[in-house]
Structures are given as C-alpha cells and as structure tokens.
Structure 1
Amino acid sequence: MTKHNKAYMFRLYPTDKQALLIHKTFGCVRFVYNKMLAERKETYETLKEDKEALKKAKHPTPAKYKKEVEWLKEVDSLALANAQLNLDKAYKAFFKGNAKFPKFKSKRHKQSYTTNLVNGNIELMDGHIKLPKLKMVKIKRHRQIPSDHKIKSCTISMTSSGRYYISILTEYEKEVKDKEIKNVVGLDFVMDGLFVDSETGKKANYPRFYRQMLDKLAIEQRKLSRKKKGSSNWNKQRIRVAKIQEKVANQRKNFLHHKSKELVSNYDAIVIEDLDMKGLAQALKFGKSVADNGWGIFTSFLQYKLKEQGKQLVKIDKWFPSTKTCSSCGSVREITLSERTYQCTCGLTLNRDYNSALNIKKEGMRLLAQLPNVDIKLNFNQWGFSFIPH
C-alpha cells in the first residue's frame, strides 16, 4: 500500500476572541520568519565566499526569539516552527537554483499559518474543529472526510474580504493501479471557451465569469479609488471589491472542478499541449481572457484527479504544429489567426480548433504507445499509425 496526501478546505467561523488570536498568530509567524531571514541573510553575505563555513553555519530558531519577545508565547508554537520549515524550504530551493532568494513577508502577504497534529490537539467534531490555542472553532463541513484519512496538519488562512478558511491535510493508504487505456481525448485550448475536445468538436462553454462581472467590478473599483486610502470607508469599499473578486475565483474553480471531474470519469487518458500561458497572454495581449479561463488551474485539477485513479495526463510539446497539420492526411500548411476553418488539398474542411484537437489526440496516442508499462487497448490503424504499441 502506498501513502497519499489529500487536502480538504472548509469555511471557518471564529468568534471575535478567536479571530483576534488568529490575527496575532499571523503577525507572530510573519515576525519570526522575517527575523530568521534577516539573520540568515546577514550570515549569507558574510560567508558567501566560504561555502563550507556557510553550510556549517548555525541558524536561529523560534525558541531564541521567545526569550526576547514575550508575546510570541501567546500563540501556537507549532505555527512558529512551521515558519522555520518554510524558510528552510525556500533556502534549499534557492541554492538548488529553482527559486529566487527568499523575500521578507509584509502585512499585504497572504495571511496564513500552519499547525500540526500532535497528541490529539486537532480533532474534527460535529460543526466544530478543535485547534491548538483556539480550542473549539465553528466550521462548515460541506463534504465528509473519509474515516481512513488521518489528519496531518491544518492551514488557517484569511482572504482579502475577511473570510476565514481551513485546509486540512490528510494522509491515507491506497494501492493505485494503472488503468488500461481504452478511451483517449485531446483538448485544444481556446480563448473563448476553455477548450475544444477531439470527440465532439464542441467547446467547454466556459461562462467567462470575470467578463460577466467586469462592469460591476469597475464601478466598485472607481468608488474605491475616490476614497482616502486607509480610512474606514476605504476599508469597507476594499472589502466590497475583494468579495466580487473572490466570487469570480470561486465560480471559476467550481466550474473547472466539475468539468475536470467529468473528463476524468469518461476517459482513461487526456492529452493537452504544454502551453506557456504567461507568454501567450503577453504575446497576444489577451491577458484578461487567458487569466479568466484558468487553464493552468484546470490542468492541475486534471493531473491530480487522473493520478488518483491510475489514469494518464499527456502533455505534448508546445511547438507541435497541431493547428497547421491536416488531421486527415498529415500535410502541414501555414494558417493565419483569422482563418477559423482548416481546408486541405485532400478535401478536408474542418473547424480549425477541432482539427487541432484531433492532432493533439493523435500525438498523445503516439507518445502513450512509447511509454513502458502502460497497457493500451486502442485501434491505432484508424489513425494511420505505423508503429506497434507496447
């Protein structure tokens, strides 16, 4: 049996006293993180020429600051310990060349802290959750956590609109066997509908929630810009704007969750292009449309849901000429952005996005056939492939 992790997010409803302690913990975690980072930065600047001395250098811990600052003792000690672990991860990522040098956290940074399960200090009950220092906090459990899932840690966070959430990380044991691949679908990213699939040629019909809310958001943002920054009225208006933005984000996530679940339920392998969405948004000046679709979130949802069921997500190279290639005869020709129909000398006339989705599926099937230990039961001859699957 293999161990797996899964997180469940719920809404929290703390009392005023509990909310005050949560805010204190946010501040203490930020304070400890920044103090440790400042000392590490000083050590790094002093010893960066001597790598051996830098490796052996001792780093500060939250216990050191507790002796100096009394109010650090008021909050959960595990939250402070996790701040140290987060800084350690950031440093390791920097030295491996995977990230930039860690930055100091400001009050505008995401407000959150993580605590761990130790000696039954975290416990889920009917309508409440027991947490270190906070004790019993009201929780809205819109879904049940399976009984075989053991709680490992909890992350408490607050959104810009002042709502509190808890992400419960669980661990469970499950033997995930690779599924026999029978049904494959190719998805071609489109700006105005999320994707076109290779089976029906239809768009996902993403509702474009951000565009729907754009006029209302613009009105509220203009009101915010006319108020004195930092004033009571400015803060009230800031929360109104934040609530609109959060509603859009929640609507988007809900749609993407349902759409990804539908695809994962119906197919054994899903093929997509490995697109650079940031570069695409900048190059075509379609930043709002690209961000509204949430393609990056959608692909991450597909990935973990497919993995849970032993299914495959195949990413083909972004330079693969899916749009330029004829899905019938395989010939390649140049096609402009304004051409919405692909016409080939072989007689094929097809919507360009549907044609692209078919090509993505074909390339994905070719890549799947080259993977070791993947059981594939497909009729490859119908696609004109000359290779034999493993």
Structure 2
Amino acid sequence: MSATDVRGRGFSSRAALSVMEGWIDATVGPLPPRAVPLAAIAATLAEGPVLAEPVSAPGDWPSADRAARDGVAVASSDTLGAGSYNPVPLPGAVTVAAGEPMPPGTDAILPVECIQTDGPFVEALNSVAPGDGVERRGEGLRAGTVLLKAGHRLRPQDLGLFAALGIDVLCVGARPRVRIVLAGGPRSGPETLGAMLAALVARDGGVAELVGPLPADRAALAAAYAAPGADLLISAGRTGVGEDDVAPLALADAGMLALHGVALRPGDSAALGTAGGVPAVLLPGEPMACLTAYELLAGRALRRLAGRDPALPHPAVPAVTVRKLVSEIGCTELYRVRRTADGLVEPVASPHRPGLAGAVLADGFVLIPAESEGVPAGATVTLRCFDGTSL
C-alpha cells in the first residue's frame, strides 16, 4: 500500500479544515466568464447568474430632461400670477405624459389639476417654478457610475434597469461542468447522493453530469475521474479506511491525491486532488457526511469556478443555545439545530449521528471551530440557515 493508503490502518492525522480551504483557494480560480444577451439571462434568472465584471452606467440617466408626471409642459415664466380667479392663457403648452422628453422652450410641468381648457385654449390655474415636475438629465445616474460589482447575483430589477440603459449584453460567471461520480454501489446510497449533489451543484451555479453508480474498482473509477469534459470532479463514496475504499487510490491514479482526511465531523474522510487536469473533491458515502463535506469543500471549489463568493451561501443570523453543544478540540463539528418556540436553538442531532433526517428536521447548522471544546447553554452562536428556511 502507498503512503497515502489508509485502508485497514485508519488516519494517522487529518488536515485542518482551514488547510483544506487554503488548498482549494490556491488551486481553484474562476473559469473564463461568458458574454450573454440580456434576454437569455432573463430566461435563466432562477439559476442565479452572477456578474463577472462590474457594470457602469453607459451615459446619463435620464439622457435628457423629461417629464416626471402627466400634465402640460410650459415655460414657468408664462404661469406667473396664475390662480383659480386669474386663469393665465398658455399658448405654448404641450400635453406630455410622465417619461416623455421636455419640449424645447419648456422648463416645468403643470399638473392636469392646475389647468383648464376653453375650447382649443389651455389656461393655467396655478403657477410653477422652473424644474417643477421635471426629472433632470443625469438626476438618476451619471455616466460612469458603478451600478453593480462583480460577484453580484442578478435580480429582475437589475435586468429592468439594464434594459432601460440600453445594456443588452452582460459578462456573467461561467457555469462549470461538474462530473458527479457515484462510487461503490448500493452501500453508498447512490440514489440519495445523486439527487442531493445534483441539486447542490445547480444551486452553486454548476451543470451536473451524473456517472454511476460504479463498482468499487480502482481502474474503473480512475477512468471515470480522468475522462475529459468536466471542470470539476466530485466523487461520492468509498473514501474511508475499508479494503474496498479505493476512491483515493483511483484519484491518485487519475492525477494527484493532495490531501486525504480532514478534521471535520461529519465528513472526516473527504479528500482533495486533481484528475484529468481539473480539481477533484472526494466526498464520503454516508449522506450527512457527504452533505457536510460538499458544503464546506466541494461547494467552495465550485463557487470559485463559477466566479461566486466562495464562502458558505447560507444566510447567517445570531442565535442563543438552549443547552451546551459539546465538541472535541482539534475537529470542526457541524451541529444540526432547530429554533424553539421562544427563538432559541437546540440540537436536532449530534455530529456523530448519521443520516439526513436530522438535516431535514433542522432549520440550519452551527459550526463549532476546531479550537473549541463546545458552546455553553445561553451562548450566542451563528446559525446558518438551510436553503428554504425562513429567517
């Protein structure tokens, strides 16, 4: 067995989570962005496209003085002295709707309730000052103003403004191709892992390709890992210390096994490396361990490839613990927790307990850092809400 082969012996040591994160950050960078027509982005807005470059206003907005309300455009000086008992004729008045450009020679909008008509003639029943009812050129935006920064997830209102400004193509982050290899057959629960990982990949901006389940065969897995056509490899299952846990050895055959074993619970048998020239993340086959290692490792790599913020995408809110969350020094631990009726949080399952039921019943999770022995009752912690959880 090779020096990285832990089968039958167990892990002599595990890398700190920060070491694994550092390897990902040093190894994985964003893919080249895409120039996409605005209409195409609108059709895929649910996929969460993000800007790869900042967007600036191409010119002043509005580009010329325009009416801010319905009424008649007038020269304000023509309305001096006007009142309900002293109607003033407005021979040069022009009826306009909000948003229409100001006619030449006018500088104010007299609202419809301040005019009366006498046959073809329009009369002012009130006076207006210069600029009343007018949106001046550049009042909304000045040319060159940075509207949105790179990394911003696009929203419907963003697209509406871009369309108004005449911006019809945007530079957005890539959609990385992610090969998900289900390794080792039924023991790893391939139907569970495949469904879960495909959804997570879509959430983080990738396009998933499911392969397998494949048998626990080193050569077969290595061939699947090294096959061209992917920007990121994720393999689930067969990462542990049993004799048939051949995924790390297959990764070494397909490229490089950089790190195997992380001080993370659940998820401690995860591994990092490269295969076929692209980054690779091996995830444990136990579903909760797989979910944890994806969120903290594989998801980070994918979000970097897609030009997104690599940090956890879960909303973070402060919360107070009902009782102590016990933790082991030297290991980052993920506690699944739920809110109580009085707004506190309590554990649904310990990091040692397998299965996704606890994650389904939980509102989110709390990460206990490796240097901590745990969190006492009544302490304030950061609750990271699972997708779909109301804040």
Q: TM-score, normalised by structure 1?
A: 0.22
Please state which structure has a larger fraction of its residues in strand: 2
Bigger-Rg structure (1/2): 2
The TM-score with structure 2 as length reference comes to 0.22
Higher share in helix: 1
